[in-house]
Copies of this chain bind each other. A is one copy, B any other.
């Protein structure tokens, strides 16, 4: 990936006439403006690159085959939240301009300002620039879809993937993405949000438990795939 020039300096925080710190919530220091919005088909190239980075991080590149065209042909086939849904995380050193196109009746973009101690250098900024809002880049995503609990008689959401690019980690952005899914579930009257974690990833488990999750110790995933699945073509 192309190394990028350092991002432009953050917008200076306006000073109060007295020289004292502002008493309102105007960001000071190095604000990182973040936004969560629904992804669209135009985001597929960035999404494909994020999934590839996730496969590298998980040391599972041998399982990664997804192309942009496969993603484009299988995602965005249903209205948001009815099937596979992606929230995209964007960050910028400047406030996001209002974009009425992003305000669907299903979801209003979520914005947060994160105050950093130091300005942040994104070595992949050129690769993940989103073409709008000046220096805004795609920093992560969460893909989720409805699941169903027969015991509750209610749908829920299953979070298949949650990923934040390396230079944006440990700033609360992963929590922001997962919270957005949980909040949406509550608004829709859904009963659960579920996902899976590797049992040796104790930091992730601690993080999820602090977010209110229970880790279920006894259940194991069963999977039929590849030739074993193909063998069922004419089984019925």
- Could you tell me which A residues sit within 8 Å of B by CB distance? 36, 51, 54-55, 60, 63-67, 70-71, 74-75, 78, 82-84, 110, 143, 145-156, 158, 160-161, 176, 179-180, 182-187, 191-200, 205, 208, 211-225, 228-236
Rounded to whole angstroms, the CA-CA distance of A194 and B145 in the bound complex is 15
Q: How many identical chains are in the complex?
A: 2
- Chain B residues in 8 Å Cβ range of A185: 229, 232
- Residues in B with CB closer than 8 Å to A155 are 74, 84
Knowing A182-B232, A186-B230, A228-B212, say if A151 contacts B60 (CB, 8 Å).
Answer: yes
Residues of chain B lying within 8 A (CB to CB) of residue A82: 78, 83
Q: In angstroms, how far is the closest chain B Cβ from the Cβ of A52?
A: 9
Q: In the complex where A230-B186, A236-B110 touch, is A151 in contact with B220 (Cβ < 8 A)? A: no
